[in-house]
Amino acid sequence: MPQISVNELKNGITLELDNGLFQVVEFQHVKPGKGGAFVRTKIRNVRTGAVIDKTFNAGIKVEQAIIDRQDMQFLYKDGDDYVFMNTTTYDQMNVPPVALGDAANFLTEQMIAQIAMYQSEIIGVDIAASVELTISETEPGVQGDRVSGARKPATLETGKVLQVPLFVEIGDKIKVDTRSGDYITRV
């Protein structure tokens, strides 16, 4: 493992600390008037998602984790697992839904996702910030019920249920924000 000084930390760098794998969310170099300098950080555990504050003395070395990111295409769902194919080597791999997290709610066949791996363990999946999905089930909007901002539940082709405006019907394509899971617009 390469070691880097905490003075070289940047957002997004992944560190291997004694109690797990962490990604730097925020960092701040502090040089108080008295005493030695230090680096105040917010780091996110990549396995659990928990964000913690950690302070390092300036100049100490920490282990940097080398993360392999590969573009992979989602092929199909095999039982509970999702089958992805590497777009350069055409190797296929089964990915459990736990590794996908919320991204599983927005995956459709042929979609490209970036899979982050650390020592053959999947630690994250990144998909586009917004995706276009088809409404598979929703109630019809009631005529005359046009209260500003009124919403109704709708089921997407992936099985995810979200709130949409009353004018959205079955078969409509909508754009969905994958980070928050919210309706953006009708396509």
Q: Specify whether 18 is located in the same domain as 41.
A: yes
Q: What total number of domains does the chain contain?
A: 3
- Given CA atoms 97, 94, 123, 69 in this order, what sign does their dihedral have? negative
Q: Are residues 115 and 152 in the same domain?
A: no
Residues 98 and 142 in one domain: no
Per the structure, the complete domain to which residue 171 belongs is given by 130-186
**Per-residue model confidence as pLDDT tens for the chain (187 residues):** 688 888 888 888 889 888 788 989 899 998 888 888 899 999 988 877 788 899 999 888 988 888 888 999 999 988 888 899 998 899 998 888 888 878 888 888 899 999 988 888 888 888 888 999 999 998 887 666 566 678 889 999 888 899 888 888 899 999 999 888 889 988 8
Nearest to 163 by CA among 172, 171, 154: 154
Q: Both 175 and 141 in a single domain?
A: yes
The enclosing domain of 73 has a CATH number of 2.40.50.140
pTM: 0.72
